[in-house]
Amino acid sequence: MSESEKIMTINPRREQFKRGKSVFSSNRILIGVSILLGSFMTFPLYSQAPYIVKVATVAPEGSSWMKEFRAFEKDLSQSTNGQIQFKIYPNAVQGGEKDVLRKMHLGQIDVGTFTGVGLGEIITEVRILDLPFLFRTSEEVDYVYTALFEEFQKKFIEKGFFLVGWAEVGFVYTFTKTPIATPDDFRKVKMWLWKGDPLAKATFDVMKIQSVPLDITDVHTSLQTGLVDGVYISPYGVLALQWFTKTKYMLNYPLTNSVGAILITTKKLNSIPENLRGVFVEKTKENMRKIIVQSRKDNLASIQALHKSGIHLTTVTDKKTIAEFDEIGRLTREKLVGSLYSQELLNQVLALLNEYRSKHDR
């Protein structure tokens, strides 16, 4: 893998560990061969592409994610000589993640992009990758995600979905109206809780935070009215939703890393001839990596944009506070054993993390 293809990484929590303090694609391919003026020129002639893959995503047209996905669409079409083509429904016109999931079950949509909330509707275990205060850096995320990929893929196949690739949302931060730097500070704010998300609820219960369960549609208004005065979201997300205009502070220490993935129904995948199927899977994986790279860049650029627009970045600077956040992470992951995932899977994740850290942390 070339240097440029390597996943760009974000190390939001690396600095503090170094310094001991916290900061953060014819029905057949018809190749027309023309002999023109003694030279060979080949023209690929395609009839209507037989394999139309319907993709639903919440990303708006023109967004960074959609631009990358449009490039992927072109790459896939070229790589399969036009035999696999996407029909993309952006901007959540097919509804939210649960709607898309339902449409995938009905065969109306073939491919969906999901966050942990949607993925958790299929197999709850995947939420283990959303646990709070678990990952310190993007390298750790990549290490664990890669190690667990095949295992999760088998679980998704059992449910009728093929996990083609991860597509993380990225590190999630807390945005509040008053500055927060410690777990105690969290208790002074009324935090938004994504209604129906068991993982976020468990986390806030452990943190003893007064949370207000709300649909995402009500968050902006609730920030305006004061029903909530704290939210958690990726930096790019807080910009796209403009929630930052109602908050003043960002805790530059991630609450969690939010998992994301792209799934295709096994029914659709199996309808694609084997030779094309392989190309589809490989190209998707390859392009998802590019999307992750871009996503990480966008989140970094968003933090800069937020800072420039006047949002105060609060940093965590002492080992004691970091230990407190780590303890919240430990209590939360233990609390969710049995309900979201097994002790065995948790042990596996922690072992992978330890393995990575023992090799890389200095």
Contact residues toward another protein (CB under 8 A) are 54, 58, 60, 62-64, 67, 87, 89, 91-96, 103, 107-109, 215-217, 220, 235-236, 239-242, 244-245, 298, 301-302, 304-306, 308-310
> Which residue, 166 or 236, has its beta carbon nearer to another protein?
236
Q: Least CB distance from residue 189 to another protein, whole Å?
A: 20
The interaxial angle of helices 138-158 and 343-360, nearest 10 deg, is 150
Query: Which residue's CB is nearer to another protein, number 156 or number 244?
Result: 244
Pairing of strands 260-265, 161-166: antiparallel
What is the spatial distance between Cα 83 and Cα 25, in angstroms, rounded to a whole number? 6
Q: Which residues pair with 171 in a beta bridge?
A: 257
Q: How far is the CB of 180 from another protein (least distance, A)?
A: 21
Nearest Cα neighbor of 162 from 282, 260, 86, 264 is: 264
User: What residues are paired with 344 via a beta bridge?
Assistant: none
Return the number of the residue (145 or 173) whose C-beta is nearest another protein: 173
For the bound state, the minimum distance from the C-beta of residue 112 to another protein, rounded and expressed in Å, comes to 12
Sign of the alpha-carbon torsion through 81, 84, 89, 92:
negative
Q: How far is the CB of 138 from another protein (least distance, A)?
A: 18
- Find the farthest-apart pair of alpha carbons in the chain and give their distance in angstroms, rounded: 80
What are the backbone dihedrals phi and psi of residue 106, each rounded to the nearest 5 degrees, phi first?
A: -85, -5
The secondary structure of the chain in percent helix, strand, coil, rounded to multiples of 5, reads 50, 20, 30
Shortest Å, Cβ 49 to another protein? 13
Tell me 141's DSSP state.
Answer: H
Q: Which is nearer to another protein, 109 or 288 (CB)?
A: 109
The burial class, CB within 10 Å (0-12 / 13-18 / 19+), for 154 is exposed
**Cβ nearer to another protein, comparing 190 with 248:** 248
CB of 62 to another protein, least distance (A): 4
Which of 39, 217 has the CB closer to another protein? 217
Task: Find the shortest distance in angstroms from Cβ 54 to another protein.
Answer: 7
Structure tokens at 349: 């994740």
Nearest-angstrom CA–CA distance, 113 and 152: 16
- C-beta of 109 vs 262, nearer to another protein: 109
Q: What's the closest the beta carbon of residue 256 comes to another protein, in angstroms?
A: 20
Eight-state DSSP code of residue 228: -
Give the nearer residue to another protein in terms of CB position, either 304 or 347: 304
Residue number, 63 or 210, with CB nearest to another protein: 63
Q: How far apart are CA 154 and CA 347, in angstroms?
A: 19
Beta-strand (E) ranges in the chain? Answer: 29-36, 39-46, 51-56, 84-89, 111-115, 161-166, 170-176, 191-194, 211-214, 230-233, 249-258, 260-265, 312-314
Name the minimum Å distance from CB 67 to another protein.
5
